[in-house]
Structure 1
Amino acid sequence: MHKLLRKMKKNFASSAGDLSNDGHQTNDMQISATDIYRYRKQRGVNLGSWFVLERWISDTPFRNAKAPAQSDLDVAHGSNAQEILEQHWDTWIQESDWDWIARHGINSVRIPIGYYHLCGADPSVLHATDFQPFHDVYSGAWSRIVRAIQSAAARNIGVLIDLHAAPGKQNNDSHAGTSDRANFFGDVHNQNCTLRVLKSLIQTLTRLLQESNPPLNNIIGIELLNEPHPPSDHALQKWYTEAISTIHELDSSIPIYIGDCWRLDIYADFISHHASSGPLVLDHHLYRCFTSSDIHTSVQDLSRSLADHSASFPQTLKRAAEKIGRAGGGVVIGEWSGALNPGSLRGVPGEQREYVDAQLGLYEKVCAGWFFWTYTKEHGGDTGWSFRDAVDGGVFPELAGPQRNYVDNSEGGVARRNRALEESKRQAFGAHIDYWSRISGSYNHPLFESGFEAGWNDAYTFMLSTPSLSPSVIQLGFTGAWARKRSSDHSKHYWEFEHGFMQGVDAANAHYQAAEN
């Protein structure tokens, strides 16, 4: 990938450091393999119940668990826990699974872990926690997580490490580690302990990435807490602020993913006021099968509410994505599925596929990425929750994302692409000037031109980084955040650069898909 990026940099050098008529400077950026991993459109799947267990997904590991036999701590209290867990870790996801994931166009995975899974690298994470007596049970987990990162890297798959279970539990569900009530927010000890866990996680990952040969650069982010249930937004945001600061003291560039408690606007505002050197990414989870309203709404109406981009939720999602993008981050749908309550089904052929397609269409258009929940279940046939079954059953497309096309990167091909850029830019610039000429105001239209060119060239840089064996194309996903990185001037006229950049990205993607290279 590094050799390919060097070649691309020569082809697109004209866009780096380009000085517009007003003196606006686009940053002379070295686009690295790590940038590609972290800022591309994340088309992912959750590897649920691999490390943090959920009985409805995989029940065999619970065979000796202590009552109520629903959580990791219950398993740890049972007999032969270490043997049971290590057998599960070694068989739940295998090399053939990684091949299957890559073959179907998935370019990233979200791996839910508990803080106790880190104890093999740092035993201190267990100190004064519920899992302190179970170091031996969980000490082998981290080496398996490392192998997962390596297996993903071998297939150009990014890894999002998600802290699914924090000390004291951040929500009342058993997938937060124990079957007890949550006490994360009720005890400052648990909050401070989680900060130490995150610090240890970053330090451990840093050592791993530095010592690996060949180098690993496929960690796309760290998620602070999965689905926190705070007593107030103030309590959670206060802790988020401290956690972000703790991580950025060690690594100022790593993307940090935060859960939004299903309140998009509130946490979009939080991120917009906490812009940082590393991207802050808002993780929203969307299911339409649990509430009374969902159960009594037909799948057709649920699909329409997502497919109609002028409807309430798509507008809220778009508003949040734009706001966070301008702050240097993005929005992902960290969990979603094709699951529907029987009360929503009408027995119409293809209705579940229509529901999945409506979600994909929205997430692809508005978000920086998505992660289906979950990759597989122990008992097959669930096309709503199991990604493998959904693909095999035709509920999910065979390929995630647009198909990879051949790109003529010869001198003649690059020349034709540059001519297409100039023509697309001319048309877009003309439309931009025509529109804003009708509205009184102060403008700096050359910024639109420089933004369009940077957007087009960077979009192609990402697409040309697609590995030769990948079936789907890599695309720039965090477009707002990348536009901000691309410009050194964020003053009052920056919006024109941003508008141009976004349109340039869209034009390049359309040109690529038309295979007119």
Structure 2
Amino acid sequence: MWNSLLLALIAILDLPGSASAITSAPENIYTPASAAMIFITYTVEPIPLKATPAIIPNTFTAVPFPAPAVLSATVTASPASPSSLFSSAGEASSIATFPTFSLGTGAAAGISFSGHRGNSHVGSGTRASVPRPSDTPAAHNVTSNRTRLQPARPRPVGVTSSRTTPLFTFPEPTDTATPTAMFSLASTLSTFLAITSSTSSSSQSVQAAPSPVPFLHGVNTGGWLILEKFMTPALFTGDFAEAKDQWEFDSVPGSLEALEKHWSTFITESDIQAIAAAGLNALRIPVGFWAYDNADTPYHSGADVYVERAIGWARKSGMKVLVDLHGLPGSQNGKDNSGKGGETDWQKPANLERSISVLRTMARKYGAMEYADVVVGLQLINEVISYGDNLLSVTEQWAQDAYRAVKAEVENQSLVVVMHDAFETAGSWTDIAKELNGESEVKTFGVDEHFYQIFTDTYNTFSQDQHVQAACSWASDLAAANKIMPTYVGEWTALTNVCVNPDGSTIAGTECTTEGCQCVSAPIEEWNEQVVGQVRRFIEAQLDVYEGSTSGHFMWSARATNGWDLMRLIEVGAMPNPITDRKYPGQCEGSKRRRGGGSLRTRPRF
């Protein structure tokens, strides 16, 4: 399963009495400018159960020591095979879900075994899942484990990295479906050591460009700090009914008071906590240029205060943040998501210069070391068009100028600077990425590509099976780009325009033709079991692609109307909770390479 493995702390436990076993770290070794690793000392508390040797692959996130930090872990236990310490199949396994706890100067917190799954198995591939048997009901404390392995590469000291490493074993309980706590963490010792490791060449995992940030399972805070009418229709009523975008909204008397109420209630700390509890670890926060420079515009300032609050909430929940300059002077796409619909004048020299000036301000702020533990990226621009009077060559040159301007301002040189693909696909930016990233081992220029299957005539003729196949077909191109530079899917949706028949089959459209049929376009609170299942199929296929082929993804959006709302999708069961859970595993096996160029995959325009 592993071609080489430079850390394996394995304790075979046989605990018939009151004895305990401890796995501990070897002596400290330190070598600068290399990969980061954490040793953890565990104290195991026995229980009087029959003991069976088991290997536990431990998926964790390493954070610089000795700064206060958090470490979260998901542990999968499976019986050791006589022929291999690191693989098993067709055997019982257990899942231990660990809460987040402090490292460095923080105090350790307890860890308890929290679940057992019978009649399931761990596959031998590095992207294996633990499937839920059809005869086993779901339990809140049981999750599927999808370990995402990548070859480790040297990283500078003081940056975040991730590792998946077999650590130790514990006894597998028998004759009980939900045992009580089997072990707890009494003390934690973490020390960074210098290692490099690699996975097997036959691994299914993606070889990604070295990045200073962990994989990002994220969601957008869209509709919060830049208004979009379809996401917050209640705001656009009364005196604001005629406004089409934030430019017009902010021009109405009383708009500042309305905005401040919206800012303080639309996304709250409890929302961020709920998002983190679902297994997501990142926020993409769209914000307009006017939060930092609103001169000669009707826009109100003040949104940056809420960016600051969201960063604080994310830090407390153990999440990362990508700050996204979503609206630029002159509008980069003429749509409401830029702050102003209509004309697209962002390539006028004065607007290009002003955009970079705003990015410098943002870079100095969010690129400061005081934010380095939570702000991992700054996005230069969102959904920029480069046709008509807007030239792709100008966009490409601006992106390079903006990247260099940001890098000149940031203290945190590990901050990833992300460029939208200008609807040209991420792969079209590889030459520029190679030039900007140069020979540096860690790549800090990345690209963002968006995927929607709801706004084009072609997609709107698809059945749900075809939508799933289309999503699967994106994997090869994304993986190829991700080998060159950090590649993110900055926006995607759960929604398609299909209707679901009582037998589970689907047809394209937003109106049913048979009795008992229901469409995805129906209000989410009315979705029946068949619709929820088909939406979840599509979500899981996309997640499998993004998790296996990119450096991170961000669903659109945390709060919105109908099926655009992450939290409501979780409530109805359409969104996996935790996000790593799978009811429809393996949908994208054997998918074909995506063909053709980019299309304008964007959100509705009003």
Query: What's the C-alpha RMSD, in Å, of the aligned pairs?
Result: 2.9
Q: Check whether the contact 1:332–1:369 (CA below 8 A) recurs between aligned residues.
A: yes
Q: How big is each residue's C-alpha offset from its partner over 1:84-104, in whole Å with a ceiling of 9 and x where there is no partner?
A: 001110001112112101111
Q: Distance in 2 between matches of 1:65 and 1:160?
A: 34
2:414 aligns with 253
The change in CA–CA distance for 1:205 and 1:341 in structure 2 (over 3 A counts) is same
Q: Match for residue 398 of structure 1?
A: 577
Whether contact under 8 Å (2:161, 2:214) holds in the other structure is no
DSSP 3-state at the match of 2:284: strand
Q: Secondary structure at the match of 1:75?
A: helix
Query: For 2:398 and 2:32, how far apart are their aligned partners in 1?
Result: 40
Q: Aligned partners of 1:361, 1:27: CA distance in 2, in Å?
A: 27
Which has the larger displacement, 8-17 or 156-165?
A: 8-17
Shift of 1:14: 8.3
**Counterparts in 2 of 1:286-435, with a 5 A limit?**
286-307=451-472, 311=473, 313-322=474-483, 324=484, 329-342=485-498, 345-346=506-507, 350-377=533-560, 379=561, 382-383=562-563, 385-401=564-580
Q: CA deviation at 1:196?
A: 0.4
State the partner residue of 2:434.
Answer: 272
User: How many Å apart are 1:130 and its aligned residue?
Assistant: 2.9
Verify: 1:114 aligned to 2:293, yes or no: no
Shift of 1:34: 8.6
Report the Cα distance in structure 1 between the residues aligned to 2:435 and 2:580, rounded to whole angstroms: 32
Aligned to 1:424: none
Aligned to 1:197: 358
- One-letter code of the match for 1:388? M
1:290 is paired with a residue of what secondary structure?
coil
Question: What amino acid is the match of 1:196?
Answer: S
Code of the aligned partner of 1:177: G
Aligned to 2:376: 220
Identity of aligned residues (%): 24
Q: Secondary structure at the match of 1:246?
A: helix
Which sections of structure 2, spanning at least 5 residues, go unmatched?
A: 1-23, 36-152, 164-210, 501-505, 508-516, 518-529, 583-606
Question: Tell me, what secondary structure is at the counterpart of 2:436?
Answer: coil
In structure 2, give the amino acid aligned to 1:286.
Answer: F
Tell me which amino acid in the other structure corresponds to 1:46: N
Deviations 1:238-277 (A, max 9, x none): 1101101111111243210111123222123321332155
CA distance in 2 between partners of 1:273 and 1:306 (Å) = 30
Query: Using the alignment, how far apart are the partners of 1:314 and 1:269 within structure 2?
Result: 20
Does the aligned pair in 2 maintain the 1:171–1:229 contact within 8 Å? yes
> How far has the Cα of 1:63 moved from its partner?
3.1
Q: Is the Cα–Cα contact under 8 Å of residues 279 and 579 in structure 2 kept in the other structure?
A: yes
- Read off the aligned partner of 1:90 and give its amino acid letter: S
Q: CA contact under 8 A between 1:152 and 1:158: conserved in structure 2? A: yes
Instruction: Determine if contact 2:159/2:212 at 8 Å carries over to the other structure.
Output: no
Alpha-carbon distance in structure 2 between the residues aligned to 1:254 and 1:74: 34
Match of 1:241 in 2: 400
TM-score between both structures, scaled by the size of structure 2: 0.55
Q: How big is the shift at 1:31?
A: 4.2
| CA 316–205 in structure 1, closer or farther in 2 if over 3 Å, else same | closer
- Conserved in 1, the CA contact under 8 Å of 2:319 and 2:374? yes
1:271-293 deviation digits (Å, cap 9, x = unpaired): 13321555111101001111111
Judged with a 3 Å threshold, the aligned counterparts in structure 2 of structure 1 residues 321 and 91 are, in CA distance, closer, same or farther, namely same
Matches of 2:283 and 2:29, distance apart in 1: 30
Q: Which structure 2 residues correspond to residues 442-457 of structure 1 after superposition, within 5 A? A: none
Q: CA deviation at 1:386?
A: 1.1
SS in 2 for 1:164: strand
CA contact (8 A) 1:65 1:74 kept: no
More helix per residue: 1 or 2? 1
Q: Does 1:130 align with 2:130?
A: no
Distance in 2 (alpha carbons) for counterparts of 1:166 and 1:279: 22
Higher strand share: 2
TM-score by length of 1: 0.64
Unaligned 5+ segments in structure 1 are 1-6, 19-25, 119-124, 404-517
> Which amino acid in 2 is paired with 1:257?
V
Q: Which has the larger radius of gyration?
A: 2
Alignment-derived partner of residue 450 in structure 1 = none
**Counterpart residue number, 2:141:** none
Structure 1: distance between partners of 2:320 and 2:34: 29
Q: CA deviation at 1:204?
A: 2.5
1:402-426 C-alpha deviation (Å, 9 max, x unpaired): 79xxxxxxxxxxxxxxxxxxxxxxx
Equivalent pairs, count: 359
Write out per-residue CA displacement over residues 303-338 of structure 1, whole angstroms, 9 at most, x where no aligned residue. 02333xxx4x3222222222x2xxxx3111100011
